[in-house]
C-alpha cells in the first residue's frame, strides 16, 4: 500500500487537479459567490489547488521524505510572507496583462483553434524556455543570485516554502516567460491551463513526501529531482533549472539526476537574515552583509 501511495502521489494529484480545473472550462456563465459574479475557471482552479494542498499536508505527516524536515525552522512566517507578497504581485501582473487591448480582443490564431491539450503543450514549452533561462541566469549571474538565494536559503523543503521567492526573483520569472507564452497565440483557456499546471507542479516540487517518480523525473520537475536542485554541493545544485519540464535542461546539458544516491545537506554557502524584512533588502547590501562579523 505504501509503495502504491509513493508512486501514485505525483501523477495522481497532478491529473486529478487538471480534471477538477476542466470542470471550470465546461461550466457556462459566471458563478454567484456571495453576490459576486466569479468566473468558473477561477473557482475550480482554487478548488483544485486546495485539493493538492490538503493531500500534501496529510502525506507530509504520514509519509515524510525526511523526518528531520518536519521540525520547525523558524522560517514559516517568512515563507508565508514571501508567498503572499508574490501572489499579490503575480495577480497584479495578470490584471495588467488582461487590461492590454491586444489581449482582450485576440483573434483566432492557427493554434487557438486546436485541442486544449495541444495548445497547453505548446504554451508550456514556450513558457518553460523563458523560465529556464531566467532560473539559470539567477544561478550563474551573481547579481541575480543575491535575490534567488532567498529561495535556496531554506534548510528543509516542505509545502509551505514552495512560494518563498524574493519578489524581484519571481517577477523576473514572470517577465521572462509570459511574453513567450503570449507569442504562441494560444487561447485564454490554454493560458489558464499552463498557469495552473505550473502552480500544481510547483507546489509538488517542495513537498516533504517520500514520493517515487521513476522516469517522470526525466521529463518533469518532480520533488525527487528538485531536492537535488537545493543541494549545498554546487555541481548538484547548479542544474535542473526547468520549472515544469526538463526538456531544456536535457537540451542545454544542465540535467542532473542520481536516483540511487542519498541527498546531503541543502541550503546556501552564504549568510541570510532570519527575518522577512531582512531577506527583502539583503540583496541590495549583499557584499556588506556577507563581510559583516
Ligand atoms: Zn534555483
Ligand atoms: Zn525550490
Which among 142, 116, 262 is positioned nearest to 194, based on CA atoms? 116
Q: Give the pLDDT score at 70.
A: 95
Which single residue is written with the C-alpha cell 487557438?
112
Is the predicted pLDDT of residue 246 greater than 80, yes or no?
yes
C-alpha cell at 249: 535542461
Is the predicted pLDDT of residue 74 greater than 90, yes or no?
yes
Predicted TM-score (pTM) of this structure:
0.91
Q: Give the pLDDT score at 89.
A: 76
C-alpha cell at 138: 539567477
C-alpha 145, offset from chain centre:
18
Kindly list the distances between the CA atom of residue 127 and the CA atoms of 164, 179, 205, 231, in Å, as whole numbers in the listed order. 21, 8, 18, 25
Q: Give the pLDDT score at 98.
A: 53
CA of 45 to the centre of ligand 1 (A): 26
Model confidence at 287, in pLDDT bands (50, 70, 90)? very high
Q: Give the pLDDT score at 96.
A: 63
Q: Is 231 exposed, middle or buried (0-12, 13-18, 19+ CB in 10 A)?
A: buried
CA of 148 to the centre of ligand 1 (A): 7
Model confidence at 225, in pLDDT bands (50, 70, 90)? very high
What pLDDT, in 10s, does the model give residues 175-214? 899 888 888 889 888 988 998 999 999 999 999 999 999 9
263/258 Cα distance (integer angstroms): 9
What pLDDT, in 10s, does the model give residues 95-153? 565 555 555 545 677 788 889 999 999 999 999 999 999 999 999 999 999 999 999 99
Treating both helix axes as pointing N-terminal to C-terminal, what angle do 142-152 and 167-183 enclose, rounded to 10 degrees?
110
CA of 85 to the centre of ligand 1 (A): 19
Q: Are 159 and 57 in contact (CB under 8 A)?
A: yes
C-alpha cell at 99: 487590461
CA of 103 to the centre of ligand 1 (A): 31
Is the predicted pLDDT of residue 53 greater than 70, yes or no?
yes
243/263 Cα distance (integer angstroms): 20
**Percentage of the chain with pLDDT > 90?**
71
Q: Which of 16-30, 100-114, 243-257 has the highest mean pLDDT?
A: 243-257
CA of 143 to the centre of ligand 1 (A): 14
CA of 205 to the centre of ligand 2 (A): 7
From the CA atom positions of the chain, what is the Rg in Å? 19
Which single residue is written with the C-alpha cell 466569479?
38
CA of 293 to the centre of ligand 2 (A): 29
CA of 203 to the centre of ligand 2 (A): 9
Average pLDDT of every residue of the chain: 90
Amino acid at each position: 500500500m505504501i509503495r502504491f501511495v509513493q508512486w501514485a502521489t505525483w501523477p495522481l494529484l497532478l491529473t486529478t487537479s487538471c480534471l477538477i480545473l476542466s470542470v471550470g472550462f465546461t461550466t457556462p456563465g459566471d458563478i454567484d459567490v456571495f453576490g459576486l459574479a466569479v468566473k468558473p475557471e477561477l473557482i475550480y482552479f482554487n478548488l483544485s489547488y486546495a485539493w493538492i494542498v490538503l493531500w500534501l499536508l496529510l502525506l507530509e505527516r504520514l509519509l515524510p521524505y525526511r523526518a528531520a524536515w518536519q521540525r520547525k525552522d523558524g522560517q514559516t512566517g517568512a515563507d508565508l510572507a514571501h508567498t503572499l507578497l508574490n501572489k499579490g504581485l503575480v495577480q497584479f501582473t495578470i490584471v495588467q496583462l488582461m487590461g492590454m487591448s491586444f489581449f482582450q480582443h485576440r483573434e483566432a490564431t492557427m493554434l487557438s483553434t486546436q485541442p486544449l491539450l495541444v495548445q497547453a503543450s505548446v504554451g508550456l514549452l514556450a513558457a518553460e524556455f523563458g523560465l529556464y533561462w531566467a532560473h539559470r541566469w539567477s544561478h550563474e549571474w551573481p547579481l541575480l543570485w543575491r535575490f534567488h538565494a532567498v529561495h535556496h536559503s531554506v534548510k528543509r523543503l516542505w509545502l509551505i516554502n514552495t512560494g518563498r521567492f524574493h519578489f524581484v526573483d519571481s517577477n523576473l520569472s514572470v517577465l521572462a516567460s509570459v511574453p513567450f507564452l503570449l507569442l504562441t497565440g494560444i487561447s485564454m483557456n490554454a493560458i489558464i491551463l499552463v498557469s495552473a499546471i505550473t502552480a500544481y507542479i510547483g507546489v509538488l516540487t517542495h513537498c516533504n513526501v517520500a514520493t517515487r517518480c521513476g522516469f517522470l523525473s526525466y521529463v518533469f520537475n518532480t520533488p525527487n529531482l528538485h531536492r537535488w536542485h537545493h543541494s549545498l554541493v554546487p555541481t548538484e545544485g547548479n542544474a535542473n533549472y526547468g520549472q515544469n519540464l526538463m526538456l531544456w535542461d536535457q537540451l542545454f546539458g544542465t540535467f542532473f539526476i542520481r536516483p540511487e544516491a542519498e541527498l546531503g545537506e541543502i541550503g546556501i554557502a552564504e549568510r541570510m537574515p532570519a527575518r522577512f524584512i531582512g531577506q527583502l533588502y539583503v540583496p541590495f547590501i549583499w557584499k556588506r552583509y556577507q563581510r559583516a562579523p
